[in-house]
Each structure stands twice: as C-alpha cells, then as structure tokens.
Amino acid sequence: MTNIQAVADFLENFAPSRLAEDWDNVGLLMGDPLAEAVRVMTCLTITPASAAEAIERRANLIVAHHPLPFRPLKRLTTDNTVGGMLWNLARAGVAIYSPHTAFDSAAAGINQQLAAGLGLTNIRPL
C-alpha cells in the first residue's frame, strides 16, 4: 500500500513547494509520513464540519487546498476553533497536506485549469 509520504511526494512532483509564496505554509503540515494512506479526503478548506467528517469516515489524510494551520501556532488548545480541529484530527491520526500557492502556480495547476475551462487563450504567467 501507499504511505502518506508517497502521496505527499506525488503532490510535490505536480506542484513543487518551491513554487509557493514565501509567506505560505505548504506541504505535509501534520501527521505521520510513514503511515499507510488508507482513506484520503480532499477539500478546499478544513472546517469544523469537514474535520468531523474526516474523523467520522476514518480518513487518515486530508489534502486541503488551504493550509491548516495557516500561521504558526503559539499554543494548541481546544478552546479555539483551529486548536480544537487540529487536536481532534491529530488524536484521530489524520494527517494534513496543503499545496496552496504551489498548486496555484503549477503549470497544470488550478489557475491553468480555470483558464482552460473558461476557454481563455494566450494564457501566460503574470
């Protein structure tokens, strides 16, 4: 079976972290890279509802476009939304991977896909 690091490597090959903005938090943000990737859930943003769904469905990896956490944490406690989600996900063994701006900037990334879907021509990086 495939481990979480293999999934992260695949995503890194598609959208290398070197393409991410300097301020961004991308890559494998939480979890055991050697754990088997049993169930992978994808979402745009990890919310309390999507975190609960991942735990309920026994996913052990969430690939979320937007990183969680986005900024460095000063503390990880359950008395706030982000801390509560991270605590519950970690206790359930759920890893988090986020490509964010690396995916935005990748050659076949989200912006390229949107432009193609809209039928735009003469597409080039700004």
pLDDT tens-digit readout, 98-114: 998 887 777 776 777 77
Which has the higher per-residue pLDDT, 126 or 82? Answer: 82
pLDDT at 78: 94
Composition of the chain by helix, strand, coil, percent to 5: 40, 15, 50
pLDDT at 77: 92
Interval 74-93 mean pLDDT: 94
Q: Which helix (H) or strand (E) holds 3?
A: none
pLDDT at 117: 84
Q: Could you write out the DSSP letters of every residue in 68-81? A: SSSS--S---TTSH
pLDDT at 15 over 70: yes
Q: Rounded to whole angstroms, how far apart are CA atoms 62 and 43?
A: 7
Ordered by where they begin, the domains of the chain are 4-101 (3.40.1390.30)
pLDDT tens-digit readout, 27-76: 999 999 999 999 999 999 999 999 999 999 999 999 999 999 888 888 88
pLDDT band per the 50, 70, 90 thresholds, residue 121: confident
pLDDT at 125: 63
Whether the CB-CB separation of 54 and 42 falls below 8 Å is answered with no
pLDDT at 126: 59
Q: Which helix (H) or strand (E) holds 62?
A: strand 61-64
In 3D, which of 49, 30, 2 has the Cα closest to residue 97? 30
